[in-house]
Amino acid sequence: MRVGAHVSVAGGVDNAVGREVDVGGNCGQIFTTSPQVWAGPDIAEDEAAAFRESSADLGPWVIHASYLVNLATPKEDLREKSIRSLQAECDAADRLGIEYVNVHLGAHTGAGVESGLDNAASAVDELDIPADVTLLIESDAGSGTKLGGEFAHLAGILDRADAELGTCLDTAHAFAAGYDLSTPGAVEDVIAEFDRTVGLDTLHCIHLNDSKHGCGTNKDEHAHIGEGEIGDDGMRAIVTHDAIGELPFVLETPTEDGRGFAWNVDRVRELRGE
């Protein structure tokens, strides 16, 4: 099973590998810089080389784009900043030998869903995505004018963009957006709906998170695996499902109650029966 966590790059991106190993992960995710600012990746070549060498037996890895990126925006200045930021992350992934860059669609801020998807597709098509990097569009919790809460939004960007894109399904986001994942039957239904609407062939990564809030609340707050509203039954059904069980599962669970990523990685493996 491939399961890991979103770990820090403090002190150098190569330090992320040791942190992943320490929590028991064998794949992982990073921010290359603070996700709350427009500063781009600043990775020295020796750090990049050390990351590539030390992560040879781990993977895949994912770079999560800045939270400031808004591909769906109608505002030209924000659009240009978003494109530059995302291009820098794709280039960093290429340097680090990382397969995936993950991004949210953003918010249409009143322009409407169709216009937002058009904006997002045209922004993506301005990128020069390296041949060995795949850009993943992540599902969202669906609050306000944010796109990605409906599987149809993911299908919409894939249909519109000329670029070859993939998807990332976040379990807490999907649950918050109204896709029930709390029972084996519900999980089966949601995965079937995703396949019909988007296509499981596009799905490259699962952000495996439980939810502190109920289904359909649009509240994005992650919980420890099995201890949120999705619960053990739902989480077990997700990680053992034949159609997605071999995908990489990346945890973005909280550090609280004396438990962090290591506890959650162990819990996932227990639910998997490993």
- pLDDT, average across residues 27-33: 97
Relative to beta strand 210-211, strand 222-223 is: antiparallel
Tens of pLDDT, residue by residue over 88-126, are 999 999 999 999 999 999 999 999 999 999 999 999 999
Contact 208, 171 (CB under 8 A): yes
Q: What is the C-alpha separation between 165 and 93, in angstroms, rounded?
A: 15
Distance of CA 246 to the CA centre of its chain: 16
- pLDDT, average across residues 261-271: 98
Q: What is the C-alpha separation between 233 and 53, in angstroms, rounded?
A: 38
Q: What is the DSSP string of 38-61?
A: -PPP---HHHHHHHHHHTTTS--E
- Tokens found for residue 29: 């995710």
Q: What is the C-alpha separation between 52 and 98, in angstroms, rounded?
A: 8
Q: What is the C-alpha separation between 212 and 229, in angstroms, rounded?
A: 6
- pLDDT, average across residues 247-260: 97
Domains defined along the chain, listed by start: 3-170+184-207+230-250+262-272 (3.20.20.150)
